[in-house]
Structure 1
């Protein structure tokens, strides 16, 4: 069986008087485990024994194999943190699952985006894995070794010897995507988990496995967030693009700004002004800019003239109406309540596209 050994830097912890494993058990002495139960209270014969309230009776249980003293694991459960935009966590008694909704920067497939992030984390940690099926990975078996400090003695003499603890396990990663393809989920399971102390197999507290699962899931969530923010920054550096296209359902010619309405609304305002349209009024509720256009004035000896190129369109008043179109924003242009021609849009398109791209970079 191939093992991947995860080395732990325990030297500093040992010099400080405790190892990483010591954080899993309480500090102080454990003499209390040898305390015997006290005898039943003996009453003099002339006193009446009070009735015992069963509400506070301690039930008889078999604690022979239960962890006590040093064997009690006090590790705090690690929380899965949905740090990424569009991510959330659903926790039940049996599993913790992270959900990712598709957001800007993820491209066309949130499934592929999250899958690549998970594989990046595994490769960064040097963990080999096999793809069992679509959305199902199993890693190699790994070994995590720690030194357990011995207890008792005086100045290091006469106490228990240090023990070697070895935990072996592998990760199982399962990804499931909703039928609408806009949401995918990820969960991490610990498989074949065993623990040995000096070669002897001992029980493992459930919290240990849960924390290992949470640790990897948090790392993947962080990587998804990092990749998404990096992609958004790159898109911003490239600027927001605009297409001259035709609506498939209505056949209308439109300008399609490749961003949400909330982002496109202020950008269109600035872009219109930079290419020669004067915004005279606006109504955000209806997504409308009321503008007028006049050819640029060259000024006297090129001093004080307008600083935009002529669009070679009819001067007058126009309405630019913005409407959400999926993840993008459709821009329709009207003159006297009639949509302008395709030739009009072609005359304006390149200048409008360049202006929107430039404003989105600022």
Structure 2
């Protein structure tokens, strides 16, 4: 059999350069310093002066102390322990002084000095994982409004395993201003339910909230509110909700650039009672559609014997309209609905 022809020197050199560029990119993304050969203290035609550094790329393996989690990453022979330590600290948001590297030496283990070249296989002490940990905020996350967006925010936090949040709403249930107050009894969803429901998207679909079946395509107010309640109960978010509560005031505590500045909310029961203060580290504000009727006083209204009502907020007495002459002023969405 004929011997396989080896790659030409040009192809081999190109492949080595490509591999080196890829490893340099990984090192740069990790925040590791890449030492280029041309930076050596060598003048053309002269003998090398001072210490020479090996810029050859190699792979090292790092393992978390006391765990099985392990990663490999490219470094250069001249990469120091301090370089890897500082890169890890930046990536994980930790104090560099809390991180150390252990290396096997014979039948014992020793701590590597910061000035040493990083060993090929090291155990990292002082970290819990190579994945960045969740920042521990001093206060919960605040959400104002328990409508579509407020409820969905709570569900996303819960799905991510974070229940350190509190939702405030003036109403006594989920649904928000749009569907509890502004919508009429006969108001229908103006988009298909399949693309509107709260648990829309694979990131929120669960066994209790699968793709909706058995729901109307264009449900009315009652069914829309029922689906809000179903999602809230299925996800178990209601213990984090404070209903019939008004957020009356907000004070910002700390400077704009302070990492842990927070918001102090003054909240009060809508039925009366003493106000309390609640501190939150971040704040979502979903005030609703902010739809307000344009109130117009027509001459003679006080002498008119019939009912005068507006076409939203369930203000119109539909049970009294049958058999009567009705005038509808306006040609907007609620006028057409009515």
TM-score greater than 0.5 by the shorter chain? no
TM-score, scaled to structure 1? 0.26
Which has the larger Rg? Answer: 1
Larger strand fraction of residues: 1
TM-score, scaled to structure 2? 0.27
